[in-house]
Amino acid sequence: MRAIVIEEFGGPEVLTLAALPEPEPGPGELTVDVAWIGVNFVDTLARSAGYRVPGLPFRPGVEVSGTVRATGPGVTGFAPGQEVAAFVTDGGYSEVARVRASTAFVLPPGVDLRTGATLPIVLPTAWGLLHEVGRVREGDVVLIHSAAGGVGTVAGQLARSGGAAAVYGVVSDLDKSEHALKSGYDRVFTADTFDTDVKAATDGRGVDLALDPVSGETFHRTLAVLARFGRLVSYGNAGLDEWQISRNDCTPMGISVGGFSILALAADAPERLREIAGRAFHAFAEGVVELPVSAEFALEDAAEAHRLMESRTTTGKLLLRV
Ligand SMILES: NC(=O)c1ccc[n+]([C@@H]2O[C@H](COP(=O)([O-])OP(=O)(O)OC[C@H]3O[C@@H](n4cnc5c(N)ncnc54)[C@H](OP(=O)(O)O)[C@@H]3O)[C@@H](O)[C@H]2O)c1
């Protein structure tokens, strides 16, 4: 089968097309004839910085859609030919993927394979951030960074449907604001001035809930615009920087800081992930959220997809086509 392999970390050019043996499903696993592959920011971090990469050579790709090819020992509820979307832990950028049955999902009625590849990571992530960790409530004012990207597009809509009174987004360039304004956001600010803009928009009060996939300075500036009893959920380090706080950063205003990792959830608590994914997919099937695909590439052009994502000009979701 054809698959993308990384032999060394670096720019998009290190994504190389290789011919590999087709995988067989082990106990509790499925193999999937892949139709579409979701491109995630974490794939670019894995390629360039070795983020969550156990060693080289490495095969990137954490989500696919396709048809079940074979089921391994002990698998129930799946049969060859069924259309599924799934998390992948060992190389989704492939013609055939080996996935755990516990983190594969039969596509909801009316959802086609192309759309299905957009769902496994983004939908449960946005749901988990807002409803499980962030505990969004009726009337909350919500601030979401990377508002026009995959997670941001869905999070804006889920915040709105979760009862938020106002949803503010942050982007690096206002060219992306039109997309965000169609995705549940009331106003969109740029990263350089978001903190003063948020204070101005809320008459100095700040926000009840903020979602931060950037970390570093962005995290600290976001902490500073939380309202009393505000919650900040940190779920990424796109800025390749960390954060650190002390008790005194939280106690005076009664602030909570939380974290979230969909990949850790998939690895450690697949039954909890299924629950969250079930709710998120239901919202999608009901039309509560939309996730437009803004670009698609052939599998062999994965490097082009990474270049585009790293240009910070994309909105919505990027896909690879097998
Ligand atoms: N913890 C989890 O479970 C989890 C799950 C999924 C995704 N994530 C994180 O959520 C974020 C969105 O993921 P996605 O796959 O949907 O990607 P995406 O949002 O479609 O694209 C990447 C986003 O990162 C922002 N960005 C790129 N380079 C940056 C930099 N150097 N500093 C700050 N921001 C930068 C861009 O927004 P602007 O250019 O507008 O700033 C862009 O929206 C990523 O940071 C990802 O790692 C976390």
Mean pLDDT computed over 201-213: 98
Q: Is residue 51 part of a domain?
A: yes
Let me know whether 137 and 45 are in one domain.
Answer: no
CATH number, position 109: 3.90.180.10
Mean pLDDT computed over 44-73: 96
**pLDDT reported for residue 99:** 97
Residue nearest to atom 32 of ligand 1 (CA): 239
- DSSP conformation letters of 151-201: HHHHHHHHHHHTT-SEEEEEESSGGGHHHHHTTT-SEEEETTTHHHHHHHH
Q: Which residue has the tokens 């698998």?
A: 75
For the Cβ of 35 lying below 6 angstroms from any atom of ligand 1, the answer is no
For the Cβ of 146 lying below 6 angstroms from any atom of ligand 1, the answer is yes
Considering 248, 263, 278, which residue would you say is the last residue of a domain? Answer: 263
Let me know whether 73 and 205 are in one domain.
Answer: no
For the Cβ of 238 lying below 6 angstroms from any atom of ligand 1, the answer is yes
Let me know whether 79 and 146 are in one domain.
Answer: no
Let me know whether 115 and 131 are in one domain.
Answer: no
Let me know whether 131 and 247 are in one domain.
Answer: yes
**pLDDT reported for residue 109:** 85
Quick one: what percent of the chain has pLDDT higher than 90?
97
> Is a pLDDT exceeding 90 seen at residue 311?
yes
Most ligand 1 atoms within 8 A of CB, residue of 127, 151, 188 to mutate: 151
Mean pLDDT computed over 289-315: 97
Q: Is residue 278 part of a domain?
A: no
Let me know whether 148 and 256 are in one domain.
Answer: yes
Contacts for 62 with CB less than 8 Å, ≥ 6 apart:
38, 40, 42, 43, 87, 88, 89, 92, 120, 121, 263
Let me know whether 140 and 91 are in one domain.
Answer: no
Binned at pLDDT 50, 70 and 90, residue 108 comes out as confident
Let me know whether 27 and 78 are in one domain.
Answer: yes
Let me know whether 128 and 193 are in one domain.
Answer: yes
Residue nearest to atom 37 of ligand 1 (CA): 146
Binned at pLDDT 50, 70 and 90, residue 44 comes out as very high
DSSP letter, residue 277: H
Ligand 1 centroid, distance to 146 Cα (angstroms): 6
For the Cβ of 169 lying below 6 angstroms from any atom of ligand 1, the answer is no
For the Cβ of 156 lying below 6 angstroms from any atom of ligand 1, the answer is no
Considering 219, 248, 263, which residue would you say is the last residue of a domain? Answer: 263
Let me know whether 250 and 127 are in one domain.
Answer: yes
Q: Which of 13-22, 77-86, 238-247, 268-277 has the lowest mean pLDDT?
A: 238-247
Mean pLDDT, the chain, rounded, equals 97
The answer to whether the beta carbons of residues 94 and 32 sit under 8 Å apart is no
Let me know whether 48 and 113 are in one domain.
Answer: yes
For the Cβ of 150 lying below 6 angstroms from any atom of ligand 1, the answer is yes
Structural domain boundaries enclosing 135: 123-263
Terminal alpha carbon distance of the chain: 11
Look at the chain and report how many structural domains it folds into: 2
**pLDDT reported for residue 37:** 98
For the Cβ of 190 lying below 6 angstroms from any atom of ligand 1, the answer is no
Mean pLDDT computed over 125-136: 98
**pLDDT reported for residue 263:** 92
Mean pLDDT computed over 118-141: 98
**pLDDT reported for residue 90:** 85
For the Cβ of 239 lying below 6 angstroms from any atom of ligand 1, the answer is yes
For the Cβ of 41 lying below 6 angstroms from any atom of ligand 1, the answer is yes
Most ligand 1 atoms within 8 A of CB, residue of 37, 47, 132, 146 to mutate: 146
Q: Is residue 284 part of a domain?
A: no
Q: Is residue 306 part of a domain?
A: yes
Let me know whether 93 and 138 are in one domain.
Answer: no
- DSSP conformation letters of 192-259: TTHHHHHHHHTTT--EEEEEESS-HHHHHHHHTTEEEEEEEEE---TTS------HHHHTTTT-EEEE
List pLDDT tens digits, range 239-280: 888 999 999 999 999 999 999 999 999 999 999 999 999 999
Q: Is residue 277 part of a domain?
A: no
Q: Is residue 171 part of a domain?
A: yes
**What is the Cα–Cα distance from 114 to 103, expressed in whole angstroms?**
18
